[in-house]
Structure 1
Amino acid sequence: MVEQLFPNVNWDKMWQAAYETIYMTAVSTVITFILGLAIGILLFLTSPYQLWANKIVHFITGSIVNIFRSIPFIVLIILLVPFTLFLVGTIRGTNAALPALIVGAAPFYARMVLIALREIDKGVIEAARSMGAKTSTIIFKVLIPEALPALISGITVTAVALVGYTAMAGIIGAGGLGQLAYIDGFQRSRSDVTQMATILIVIIVFVFQWIGDMMTKKVDKR
């Protein structure tokens, strides 16, 4: 039945492409979480009346975040070609897509981290400061635990966006379901290949969203 509905689908290639999409999304999501969290915390701590209040650092960091957030992803891939070549040695394949995926997603997530941290009750932070808690203690014992549900929810949204980014990266040779849908599906007029790739992308998005929602509910103590 499946073979009749999708006669042109090479299932070995389809499963390999699905694995590549999951690999690119998972790796870039993990690194984006770490990098975006660090940038978001820096933005928060250097904002007015915070521990590291510094207008210059806050302005420069915020400006860099805004610049990279405003660049369309497909343009960002092209701009990062020299950096990708230096880092990976090639501009094709799943690993070559990672720098652009991370640089594209980390600023977006950093802003979500900043929003989450601003929602924390100021009294909790002030209480920790009044007890002489070190900055590292405030970060790891107050800020991150208090904002954890929002942080997980934010990285879930980012992971879903990254699935879409991998599809765009596939068009220029990064691999994954996006490349398969474009080259084997669209360019060869095999609509069933494009449809199957789309179905798998939707399933991957649903899985990432489900995992994120479950983790958010687990850590949310409200």
Structure 2
Amino acid sequence: MEELTFVAALADLSGMAPEIWQACRETALMLAVGLAAAIVLGGPLGILLYLSQPGQLFANRLINSVLGWTVNLVRSFPFIILMVSLVPLTRLLVGSTIGPVAAAVPLSIAAIPYFARLVEQTLREIPRGVVEAAEAMGASPWQIICKVLLNEARAGLISSLTILTISFLSYSAVAGVVGGGGIGDLAIRYGYYRFQTDVMVAMVLLLVLIVQIIQFVGNRLAARLDKR
């Protein structure tokens, strides 16, 4: 009986192959947009948070406090609440509140401060003496940022990006609850509403596999870039 049940579950999943592939593509789209926003906007924000701290190149207590407060404010919102609160902005930007592109809007806004804090923490781990040596050699602020800070922190930044990717993979699954599409949406529609447990288990296993792959690739890249 168990063997027949297993065969039936495999048959159901085989028949759903196009939908599973579409769900994977939607999840990949949400992650790609969110991660791009995090790198393009969150990265510089994290650098500015670090450089505006007391004792750094552009030390400014007011700017650092305002940026830190803003980052903490956005990060304090549970993602599902953030998605709902950003519905008007999402509709304004993409003309819809349903689908992976719409879900990518709150994902991006959540990813920016999240990655900014990770970047800031990574840069803090760089010995101050490395920056002081570059300053003594007459390096410009731009050279210090690009050739010293980012170069020294590249392994840590890859690790931070890996953490962000895995975290937002779970966020994309949450987005499926409110019509964002993706693997989470497929698991909810079939596994919860239609009581097809085999589909939910398969989607969970798929997410576990994706996480393992992301972590493996991230670890390998970080190890190759680590100068220690």
The TM-score by the shorter chain falls in which range? Answer: over 0.9
Structure 1 residue aligned with 2:151, among 145, 148, 153?
Answer: 145
Letter in structure 1 aligned against 2:8: Q
Give the % identical residues: 41
Structure 2 residue aligned with 1:14, among 11, 20, 29?
Answer: 20
Query: Does the 8 A contact of 1:8 with 1:190 survive in 2?
Result: no
What whole-Å deviation, never above 9, does each CA across 1:185-215 have from its counterpart, x for those lacking one? 2101111111111111111111111111111
Letter in structure 2 aligned against 1:186: Y
Question: TM-score, length-normalised on structure 1?
Answer: 0.95
Q: Which residue does the alignment assign to 1:53? A: 59
Query: Does the 8 A contact of 1:18 with 1:200 survive in 2?
Result: no
- For the residues of structure 1 that align with 2:112 and 2:204, how far apart are their CA atoms? 25
Residue 14 (structure 1) shift: 1.1
What whole-Å deviation, never above 9, does each CA across 1:89-132 have from its counterpart, x for those lacking one? 11111111111111112212211111111111111111111222
Q: Which residue does the alignment assign to 2:216? A: 210
Q: Which runs of 5+ in 2 are unaligned?
A: none
- For the residues of structure 1 that align with 2:181 and 2:195, how far apart are their CA atoms? 19
Residue 7 (structure 1) shift: 4.3
Residue 184 (structure 1) shift: 2.0
Alignment of 1:57-96 (within 5 A): 57-96=63-102
Q: Which residue does the alignment assign to 1:104? A: 110
Q: Which runs of 5+ in 1 are unaligned?
A: none
Asked if 1:118 corresponds to 2:107, the answer is no
What whole-Å deviation, never above 9, does each CA across 1:10-34 have from its counterpart, x for those lacking one? 1210111122112222332232123
- For the residues of structure 2 that align with 1:25 and 1:190, how far apart are their CA atoms? 26
- For the residues of structure 2 that align with 1:64 and 1:173, how far apart are their CA atoms? 28
Query: Does the 8 A contact of 1:88 with 1:96 survive in 2?
Result: yes
Cα distance change, pair 36–3 in 1 and its aligned pair in 2 (3 A): farther
- For the residues of structure 2 that align with 1:214 and 1:96, how far apart are their CA atoms? 33
- For the residues of structure 1 that align with 2:35 and 2:44, how far apart are their CA atoms? 14
Letter in structure 2 aligned against 1:173: G
Q: Which residue does the alignment assign to 1:4? A: 8
Cα distance change, pair 175–3 in 1 and its aligned pair in 2 (3 A): farther
Question: TM-score, length-normalised on structure 2?
Answer: 0.93
RMSD: 1.4
- For the residues of structure 1 that align with 2:88 and 2:107, how far apart are their CA atoms? 15
Asked if 1:192 corresponds to 2:198, the answer is yes
What whole-Å deviation, never above 9, does each CA across 1:5-64 have from its counterpart, x for those lacking one? 344431210111122112222332232123221111000111001111111110000001
- For the residues of structure 1 that align with 2:211 and 2:28, how far apart are their CA atoms? 10
Letter in structure 1 aligned against 2:9: L
Q: Which residue does the alignment assign to 1:127? A: 133
Query: Does the 8 A contact of 1:43 with 1:61 survive in 2?
Result: yes
Query: Does the 8 A contact of 1:22 with 1:204 survive in 2?
Result: no
Moved over 4 A (4+): none
Query: Does the 8 A contact of 1:6 with 1:196 survive in 2?
Result: no
Aligned residue pairs total 222
